[in-house]
Amino acid sequence: MSQPRSIRVPILTRVEGEGALNIRLCGSRIEQIELNIYEPPRFFEALLRGRPIEDVADITSRICGICPIAYQVTAVQALETILGIRIPEPIAALRRLVYCAEWIESHVLHIHLLHAPDFFDCHSGIELARKFPDQVKRGLKLKQLGNRILEVLGGRAIHPINIAIGGFYRLPKTSQLTDLIPELQKALQESIDAARWLGNLPFPDFTAPYHYVSLIDADRYPIESGRVAIGPDQTIGLEIFETHFQEFQVPHSTALQSKFLGTDGASTEYFVGPMARLYHNQERLGPQAKRLADELRFDARRCNPYQSILARAIEVVHAFEEALRIVQALQDGRLGGLAPRVSSEPHAGIGMSATEAPRGLIFHRYQIDDVGNVVFAKIVPPTSQNQARIEADLRLLLEQIHRDSDPSIALACERLVRCYDPCISCSTHFLKVNIQRE
């Protein structure tokens, strides 16, 4: 009879927020795997009820210090659909630009300080910096440029305050944008170099049957708009998002989990984020990012989650390419004389929006009353959607490594979880790993 094994790993490092991982093994049998998010719920959806719609962007941005733009843009777009607002093209371009900056900032941080250490046998970003000072410095500079764009467009880098229903509270001067061009040109090349640095990493041999879900935007890489791709050639509109993606509660987590419900009634875990975006949209990357993906032979169909570091690196290149394209297009002064936002009169209605946060698809739905107060709000962040998939991955991994030592198992599990760049703060925070063997 197998001896029970009980292992407790107190803290999973290098993820955003706080949670725990509980594993119970009995011989080769995996009895329990629980991504335990015990952080108290933050009740943002309830907090929004009764508030004027003008408050929504500022309140939702507080959900996350890493991806506030994703929350803000998704929120205002959902409200704009209720109000019938169509924002002018230059303002839509600025929204995309500020979103690119958030991708840059978030991805570069995760690549260089949180994820890359795993591939170079380093325990921390500090140890990685000792081995690769130039590469880490380059990463910090790239992140800083993302911050700068956020400051120019968002008013400040963290929890920006300039996104408004109908546009922005204040538009940047054209010169503020053109000043960015030389830095963006340089950063684009540096981001390509950064991706090449990661191109030959020894990725663990692990695959899983992923059901990738992301937006698909007609002719461009999806960031702030699109339909939801639920299969290789199948998309749905947002109006039936909640029919196919159902949130549910599990006893071990204060964050909701989510599963995909197919037309046949079968439910499954699904995967959102850069890997899913590239799976559905690799051909829509910018020219340089696309060439780079080909050069690195990146293929999300391999379904190896460890390659998500490459997916992020490719998306950083795309984000710089896109940012540069937008800024160059706005050089002609078309922002001059443009009202920063489209005004509107409130009226009752329901509206929804989905965008691609750095960590994956994010969905918002709001109902407002005829004076412009929120009656109902629903927010589905990426990490809570990936939670069930992370647990399924861990189960597959443990089937391979259950004979290993406890520290080795804990380390391997941490590494796998980090591939998802989970933002537990978003779904609510911190990760400890407890393994029990019986």
Partner 1 sequence: MRSESREIPYEVFGIGSAQGADQVGWRVLDRLLDPWHCNPARLHRLETPLDLLGFAAALGIDERATQTWVLLDACLGESVGKVHCWRWPAVPESALPVRGVSSHGIGLIDALRLGQELGILPEFVWIYGIEIGEPQSTESDRSHSIDWVPCARLHAAIAKCASNIASRSLAMQIASNH
Rank residues 96 and 143 by Cβ distance to partner 1 and give the closer one: 143
CB of 144 to partner 1, least distance (A): 3
Residue 122 vs 338, nearer CB to partner 1:
122
What are 241's two structure tokens?
Answer: 């998002």
- How far CA 141 is from CA of 85, 105, 289, in Å, comes to 37, 10, 19
Shortest gap between Cβ of 269 and partner 1 (angstroms)? 26
Q: Which helix (H) or strand (E) holds 129?
A: helix 125-131
- Per CB under 8 A, the list member of 107, 259, 284, 429 interacting with partner 1 is 429
Q: Where are the beta strands (DSSP E) in 123-282?
A: 163-164, 167-168, 214-216, 227-231, 234-236, 245-248, 257-261, 267-268
Q: Applying CB under 8 A, which part among 93-101, 154-162, 258-266, 298-306 lies near partner 1?
A: 154-162
Coil vs helix vs strand at 7: strand
Residue from 253, 258, 353, 425 binding partner 1 (CB under 8 A): 425
Q: Residue 385 corresponds to which tokens in the numbers above?
A: 């959607």
By beta-carbon proximity to partner 1, the closer residue of 62 and 347 is 62
The whole-angstrom separation of Cα 29 and Cα 165 is 53
Give CA–CA dist 356/211, Å, rounded: 17
Toward partner 1, which CB reaches closer, 147 or 258? 147
Cβ nearer to partner 1, comparing 27 with 65: 65
Residue 198 or residue 431: which is nearer to partner 1 going by CB? Answer: 431
Residue numbers 395-414 binding partner 1 by CB under 8 A: none
Among 25, 100, 152, 157, which residue sits at the site for partner 1 (rule: CB under 8 A)? Answer: 157
305: tokens are 């989650």
Please check whether residue 95 is in contact with residue 153, taking contact to mean a CB–CB distance below 8 angstroms: no
Q: Given the complex with partner 1, which of 17 and 90 has the nearer CB atom? A: 17
Closest approach of partner 1 to the CB of residue 312, in Å: 15
> 145 with 187: CB under 8 angstroms?
yes
From 157-165, 277-285, 317-325, 331-339, give the range in contact with partner 1 by CB under 8 A. 157-165
Q: For residue 392, which of 297, 302, 287, 257 has the smallest C-alpha distance?
A: 257
Helices (H), 172-296: 174-178, 181-198, 241-244, 274-281, 287-295
Cite the beta strand spans of 314-381 per DSSP E.
349-357, 360-368, 374-380
Of 10-18, 53-61, 225-233, 403-411, which part binds partner 1 (CB under 8 A)? 10-18
Q: Looking at residues 11 to 70 of the shown chain, list those that interact with partner 1 (rule: CB under 8 A).
A: 13-18, 38-39, 65-66
Alpha helical stretches, state H, 33-123:
44-48, 56-61, 68-83, 89-109, 116-119
Least distance in angstroms from the C-beta of 11 to partner 1: 9
The interface with partner 1 within residues 87-116 (CB under 8 A) comprises 109, 113-114
CB of 194 to partner 1, least distance (A): 13
**Is 84 among the residues that bind partner 1 (CB under 8 A)?**
no
> In this chain, which of 44, 119, 203, 430 binds partner 1, going by CB under 8 A?
430
CA distances from 243 to 33, 69, 126, 229, 265 (A): 27, 26, 45, 14, 11
Task: List CB contacts of 122: < 8 A, sequence separation 6 or more.
Answer: 116, 128, 131
The size of the interface with partner 1 (CB under 8 A), counted in residues, is 33
Shortest separation between residue 189's beta carbon and partner 1, angstroms:
16
Residue 59, Cα to own-chain centre: how many angstroms?
Answer: 19
Q: Can you tell me whether residue 248 is helix, strand or coil?
A: strand
Closest C-alpha among 425, 387, 385, 432 to residue 17? 425
Annotate each residue in 367-386 with x if it binds partner 1 (CB under 8 A) or - if it does not, as one string. Answer: --------------------
Query: In angstroms, what is the minimal distance from the CB of 430 to partner 1?
Result: 6
Question: Is the CB of 141 or the CB of 325 nearer to partner 1?
Answer: 141
Q: Near partner 1 by CB under 8 A, which window of 119-127, 224-232, 257-265, 359-367?
A: 119-127
Q: What is the closest distance, in whole angstroms, from the C-beta atom of residue 397 to partner 1 in the complex?
A: 23
Binding mask 121-150 toward partner 1 (x if CB under 8 A, else -) reads ---xxx--xx--x--xx--xx-xx--x---
Which residues of the shown chain bind partner 1 in the complex (CB under 8 A)? 13-18, 38-39, 65-66, 109, 113-114, 124-126, 129-130, 133, 136-137, 140-141, 143-144, 147, 156-159, 425, 429-430
